[in-house]
Structures are given as C-alpha cells and as structure tokens.
Amino acid sequence: MQEFHWALLIFITGGLVTAATVVMIIQGHRRYAAELSERHG
Amino acid sequence: MKRRSWLSLSGLSSLLAIAAHATEQEAPSTPSWEVGAEGFRWIVYGGLFGLLLATVVLLAIWFREWQKGKLW
Amino acid sequence: MAEPFLAPGIAWMLVVLFSVLWIALGIWWGRQGKGDADDFMLAGRNIGLALSTATLMASWVTGNTTLLAPEFGYRNGLWGMFSYALAGLGLILFAPLALRIKDLMPSARTSGDFIRLRYGRAAWWVFMVITAIYTLGFLITQAMGAGILLEALSGFDYRLGMVVVIGVSTIYTLFGGMRAVVGTDFIQSLLIMVLLLVVAALAYMRFPSSDVHQALIASHPQRLNLLLPAGLLIAWNSALFSMGEVFHSNIWWSRVFASRRTVVFRSFVLGGLGWMTIPIVTGSIGLLALASKLEVPQVNMVFPVMTAQLLGAGGAALVFIVVFASLTSTLDSLLASTADLLAEDVFLKLFKPEASDRELKLATQWMVVLLGGLTLLLSWPRLDSLASVLFFTGALVASTVWPVACGLYWPSASRSGAIAAMLAGTACGLAAYWLIAPYCAAVLSAAVSAVVMIVASRFWPAEFRWSQLQEEA
C-alpha cells in the first residue's frame, strides 16, 4: 500500500505540472494569436 | 495566469485527490485496474493504424509538395 | 556470447550499401544550396511540411525507441508503452512556441541566441552548462548504443560498429550540412515507419491481440494493470523530460529556424503525433514477446529476437536497417545542431564577432568533425553504466521548460527569475533523483522551476520589449 501511495503522489504531481505547462502555453498562444489577428486587421 | 486556469487546475487536482481516495476506499490491498481484451485490441490496433496513417499522410504531403516544387 | 542474428557478411553488405547511399545523397543535397553559412546551418530556412515533419520524427526516433520502448512494454506493460509515447508531447507542445520563435526572431540561428538576448549572459552560461551536459550524454549514449547494438545484431566488434555509425554521420553532415541531415532524415523515417509496420502487422497476424491478452491475463496480469505503482511512477516522467529536451535543445530550435514559417506549427504537431505511434507499436511487440513466452538473452533485444523469430534471416536484416537508420538519423541531427550552436554562440558571438560568412561556415564544419571525434573518444572505453546516467539529465533539462516558454510569452519573465528557476529546478531534480527515485527527477525539477518562474514574474516583474530579440545578422 505504501508503495502505491508514493507512486500515486508522484503521478498526481507529474500530471499537475504537465497540465499547468499545457495551460500556460495555450494561454500564451491564444494571446499571441489574438495580437496577430489584431495587427492584420 | 488567469483565475479560470487556477480554477481548472484546482478542479483537476481535487478530482485526482477524490479518485485517489476512492481507489483507496474500494480496495484494501494494492488496487488494480486491468485493461480488458476489447481495450487491449483498441490500443494495439489503434497504434498500428496510427502508424499506417502517419506513413500515408507523410507520403501524401511529400508528393504534393514535390509536385509543386516546394520541398525546400 | 550469444549467436548474432545476422550473418556478418550480410551485415557488412547492408552497412556498405547504406553508408554509401547516405554519404552520396548528403553530398549531392549539400551542393543544392547557395553554399553560404546560413544555408549550411539551416538549409536555406525554407523547408516544407513533408521534410520538416520527417526530420522531427527521425531525430526523435533514437536507437532507444526501437529497443528501449519494447523493453519498457516487456517490463512495465501498458504504462511502459504509454509513458514512452508521452515523450511525443514535447514535440506537440513546442508547436505554438515554434511559431512564436519564427515571428520574434526571424534571423536567429540557435536556442543559445534566444537565451542570451532574452535573459542575458549569466543565464546563457547556466543554459550552456545544462545543454553541454545533456548533449554530451546524448551523443555518448547514441554512439555507445551503436556499438552495442551492431555487436548484438551482427557480431561486429563494439568499436567497429561505433566508428562506422559515427563516421558515416559525420561525413555526410560535414559535406551536406543541414540539407543532408534533413534529406536523409526523410528517407530514414520512412524506412523506419514502413519496416515497423511490416514487422508489427506480421506479428499480430500470427498472434491475434485476443490471444496475447489472454496469455497476459493468465501469466502476467500486472502488465495490463493501469494502477501498477511502477507504471504510475514513470507515467509523466518522460513527458516532462521530453519537454525539457525539446524546449531547450538546439536540435529542435534549428528545425524551427530551418522550416518555412507557414509549416512550422503543423510539422511539430504532425511529427509529435506520428512519433507517438512508434513506441506504442514497438512496445506492444514487447508485450507480444512476453505473451508468446519468447526467450530473450537480454531484455533490450526483445524486438530483434521477435522479428528474427517471425521473419527469419530477412527479419534480422530489416531490424538491422531500422536500427542503423535510427542511429544515424539521430546522430546527424545532434552533430549538425550542436555544431551550429558552438559556431554561432561560442565562436561567432564570444570569440570572433567580426568573422566573415565563409569563416562561420568553416567553423561549423570544424565543429562537426571535432564533435564526431570527441564522441568517438568518450565512447571508446564502453562504460555501460553511463547509459543509465543519461536519465539524470532529466533533472537538468526539465528545469528549462518554464524559463524558455515564459521567456517567449511573458514580458514579465525576468533574468534573475530564469536563472533561479534553472538552478533551483536542477538542484531539486537531482536531489529527487538520488533521494527518492530516478523517475521523479524531471517531474520535481519542472515543478520547482515553474513555481520559481511564476513567483518571480509576479512579484519582481521585468518589462521586456520583444523587439530586443531581433538582432542584426
């Protein structure tokens, strides 16, 4: 049981870090895409 | 980051925590979740089909760009 | 020693055939450009979608993808395959960044250029140390992999196999530059994909998936368990490791600069998606081997043994070609892009800013040769334990994910924030590697550097103007 909990903790941390990175990149990209479309009218 | 993304992140983490708690409750010994025959077939043949698709798509793009002389 | 899979005579014939082919094509493609430094380093900056996608896939398919991914499947079951496949995420997530890079820095040449202009010299030094350790580790493992694999497959002496693979990649990269790398990568990736398809299709025709599943349930049910602790541990590691590798390494940045602006986004998405199917297919062959109770001398030989069983001597020849193509296509990219980085960032920007175009090209060519020689020298003693050491570079490279991505999107990302994020991430990742488990090094490193980056940008924001990234060529 102990081993499983450790693994789960690391799994959740890894999932969260990955999700946060994905969110950060998508937000940055959206802002950038909006800027681009503004610039080109 | 905007509030929405913090919200979604905290939502996700609480979901994971609940899931973790649930698995803990249901199985007193080390929990397990085995993929069934159907799921296994999807994974194996899905991967194979994906590779076939990737190969065909790559060749198709190459052919189109080659015809237009736009490879590089 | 175990009997080699392939008769040495046939192996020699294949080596000579493909070596001549790669070198001839490399030289021919090298002559097509304008012949200046930019053309040599970045293939004229106008690569289309097909070649761009193929070169990403071929470079990302290392010797490991054909040999370690089946081992992951064999040892860790489904999670082994999935976690390996998640390394494709690095390429897919780099797609939006690639587009941004192309717009912000149209005339830049390397990832080092970006770090220097965005975060200054001090951050550049930290970055260069990280990338140097990573690149050397990568070069050595590929070179050692070449020696070990060719020895196991065809009975070649370890050093002979290594010299052949490094020698061939160095020669065609030296004469053809990035054009040779990209052109050969296209053929190499098609070879890998088609041959894998043939092997996997034949394998599953002989052993249908329901039989494999039944055998696994009976003898190794843990391999199908999605809550297997060992599987959960490694699940996200390769995703974050791969992001670290792709976001910082000049292998991928040079592909961005070399590709046409209109194709760069799609090529990273397509390349990543296409690549992800390869570890799934090779990993499932590992499971098939386990289910059919195949006897393997070493676990990383699952794929060659399986193929030789299914297809006889012809199969062994196919595996040999796949492995040879995977190794040369990765080594050529590593040599070319690292030579670019050293020539541009160290030779031109640090030592000789007034160097002419011709001198820069010559310097790049020298770097290719020097790197090839250095790799040969370092891999000569065959330190088998070194291969596992590559995993600790996960702690280093994962700390660059947030500094690079934030540097491209947030004007508030500051110099000291980036340096602190890289150092703190690396330190915590390394501590986790030794104190907790090797497989959480990348996760912890990325997590810590992300927190540092967010806090620093929130409380001590910089005000970066994007135009500062555009440097006169």
pLDDT surpasses 80 at B67: yes
Give residue C472's pLDDT band: very low, low, confident or very high (50, 70, 90).
low
Give residue B21's pLDDT band: very low, low, confident or very high (50, 70, 90).
low
Residues of A in contact with C239 (CB under 8 A): 14, 18
- Tell me if A1 and B29 make a contact (CB, 8 A cut-off): yes
Distance from CA of B48 to the nearest CA of C (A): 6
| Number of neighbouring beta carbons within 10 Å of residue A12 | 18
**Which chain B residues touch C if contact means CB-CB below 8 Å?**
1, 23, 30-37, 40-41, 43-48, 50-52, 54-55, 57-59, 61-62, 65-66, 70-72
Per-residue pLDDT, C32:
87
- Tell me if B51 and C212 make a contact (CB, 8 A cut-off): no
Window from B42-56, C37-51, C285-299, C350-364 with minimum mean pLDDT: C285-299
For chain B, list the contacting chains (3+ Cβ pairs, <8 Å).
A, C
Helix/strand/coil (H/E/C) assignment for every residue in chain C: CCCCCCCHHHHHHHHHHHHHHHHHHHHHHHCCCCCCHHHHHHHHHCECHHHHHHHHHHHHCCHHHHHHHHHHHHHHHHHHHHHHHCCHHHHHHHHHHHHHHHHHCCCCCCHHHHHHHHHHHHHHHHHHHHHHHHHHHHHHHHHHHHHHHHHHHHCCCHHHHHHHHHHHHHHHHHHHHHHHHHHHHHHHHHHHHHHHHHHHHHHHHHCCHHHHHHHHHHHCHHHHECCCHHHHHHCCHHHHHHHHHHHHCHHHHHHHHHECHHHHHHHHHHHHHHHHHHHHHHHHHHHHHHHCCCCCCCHHHHHHHHHHHHHHHHHHHHHHHHHHHHHHHHHHHHHHHHHHHHHHHHHHHHHCCCCCHHHHHHHHHHHHHHHHHHHHHHHCCCCCHHHHHHHHHHHHHHCCHHHHHHHHHCCCCCHHHHHHHHHHHHHHHHHHHHHCCHHHHHHHHHHHHHHHHHHHHHHCCCCCCHHHHCCCC
B62: enclosing H helix or E strand: helix B37-68
Q: Do B48 and B23 have their domain in common?
A: no
| Spacing of C-alpha B36 from chain mean position | 17
pLDDT surpasses 90 at C456: yes
Residue C5, phi then psi, degrees to nearest 5: -75, -30
- Among A8, A15, A24, select the one facing B1 at the smallest CB separation: A24
Per-residue pLDDT, B5:
62
Q: Shortest CA distance to B35 belongs to which of C69, C292, C220?
A: C220
Chain C residue closest in CA terms to A30: C96
Q: Do B20 and B48 have their domain in common?
A: no
Site of tokens 């690549």? C275
Token pair for C276: 């992800």
- Among B2, B16, B30, select the one facing A12 at the smallest CB separation: B16
Q: Is residue B8 helix, strand or coil?
A: helix
The conformation of residue B4, written as its DSSP 8-state character, comes to: H
| Number of neighbouring beta carbons within 10 Å of residue A28 | 18
- Tell me if B35 and C78 make a contact (CB, 8 A cut-off): yes
Per-residue pLDDT, C190:
93
Number of structural domains (chain B) is: 2
Q: How far apart are CA C136 and CA C312, in angstroms?
A: 37
Q: Shortest CA distance to C235 belongs to which of C133, C109, C86, C377?
A: C86
Q: Do B28 and B47 have their domain in common?
A: no
The conformation of residue B69, written as its DSSP 8-state character, comes to: T
- Tell me if B44 and C284 make a contact (CB, 8 A cut-off): yes
Residue C227 exposure: Cα atoms within 13 Å on the Cβ side:
16
| Number of neighbouring beta carbons within 10 Å of residue C471 | 12
> Which residues 83-142 in chain C show a CB within 8 A of chain A?
89, 93, 96-97, 99-100, 103
pLDDT tens per residue across span C440-455: 899 999 999 999 999 9
pLDDT tens per residue across span C82-140: 989 999 999 999 999 999 999 999 999 999 999 999 999 999 999 999 999 999 989 98
Evaluated on CA atoms C154, C158, C159, C161, the torsion sign reads positive
**∠ CA B19-B24-B30, rounded to 5°:** 120
Q: Based on the number of CB atoms within 10 Å of its own CB, is C350 exposed (0-12), middle (13-18) or buried (19 or more)? A: middle
Q: Shortest CA distance to C462 belongs to which of C472, C453, C470, C473?
A: C453
Q: Do B71 and B41 have their domain in common?
A: yes
Residue C460 exposure: Cα atoms within 13 Å on the Cβ side:
10
Per-residue pLDDT, C1:
44
Residue C411, phi then psi, degrees to nearest 5: -65, -20
Per-residue pLDDT, C316:
84
Contact indicator for C421, C403 with CB cutoff of 8 Å: yes
Q: How far apart are CA C172 and CA C182, in angstroms?
A: 11
For chain A, list the contacting chains (3+ Cβ pairs, <8 Å).
B, C
- Among A14, A24, A28, select the one facing C237 at the smallest CB separation: A14
Q: Do B29 and B41 have their domain in common?
A: no
Q: Which residues contact C180 (CB under 8 A, 6 or more apart)?
A: C25, C26, C27, C29, C30, C172, C173, C332
Q: How far apart are CA B39 and CA B41, in angstroms?
A: 5
The amino acid at C59: S
Residues C459-472, mean pLDDT to the nearest whole number: 90
Q: How many helices (H) and strands (E) does chain A have?
A: 1, 0
Per-residue pLDDT, C151:
85
Q: Do B29 and B57 have their domain in common?
A: no
- Probe site for chain B from A3, A13, A23 (most B CB atoms < 10 A): A23
Give residue C381's pLDDT band: very low, low, confident or very high (50, 70, 90).
confident
Contact indicator for C447, C427 with CB cutoff of 8 Å: no
Q: Which residues contact B68 (CB under 8 A, 6 or more apart)?
A: none
- Among A11, A13, A25, select the one facing C93 at the smallest CB separation: A25
pLDDT tens per residue across span C215-235: 999 998 889 998 888 888 888
**C225 beta partners:** B34
Q: Based on the number of CB atoms within 10 Å of its own CB, is C2 exposed (0-12), middle (13-18) or buried (19 or more)? A: exposed
Q: Do B24 and B40 have their domain in common?
A: no
Q: Is residue B34 helix, strand or coil?
A: strand
Domain encompassing residue B8 = 1-33
Q: How far apart are CA C190 and CA C329, in angstroms?
A: 12
Average pLDDT across chain C, whole number: 91
Give residue C13's pLDDT band: very low, low, confident or very high (50, 70, 90).
very high
Measured CA to CA in angstroms, residue C193 lies from B17, C57, C275 at distances of 40, 10, 9
| Spacing of C-alpha C355 from chain mean position | 31
Distance from CA of B13 to the nearest CA of A (A): 7
Residues of B in contact with C209 (CB under 8 A): 37, 40-41, 44-45
Give residue C3's pLDDT band: very low, low, confident or very high (50, 70, 90).
low
Per-residue pLDDT, B11:
67
- Among C99, C230, C401, select the one facing A21 at the smallest CB separation: C401
- Tell me if B34 and C224 make a contact (CB, 8 A cut-off): yes
Per-residue pLDDT, B25:
54
Give residue C76's pLDDT band: very low, low, confident or very high (50, 70, 90).
confident
**C259 beta partners:** C47
pLDDT surpasses 90 at C337: yes
Q: Do B10 and B42 have their domain in common?
A: no
Site of tokens 């501590």? C431
- Better-predicted residue by pLDDT, B49 or C149: B49
Instruction: Give the ipTM of the model, two decimals please.
Output: 0.93
Distance from CA of A13 to the nearest CA of B (A): 9
pLDDT tens per residue across span A1-32: 578 888 888 899 999 999 999 999 999 999 99
Q: Shortest CA distance to C185 belongs to which of C373, C313, C337, C1?
A: C337
Superfamily of domain C8-388: Sodium/glucose cotransporter (1.20.1730.10)
The conformation of residue B28, written as its DSSP 8-state character, comes to: S
Chain C residue closest in CA terms to B23: C227
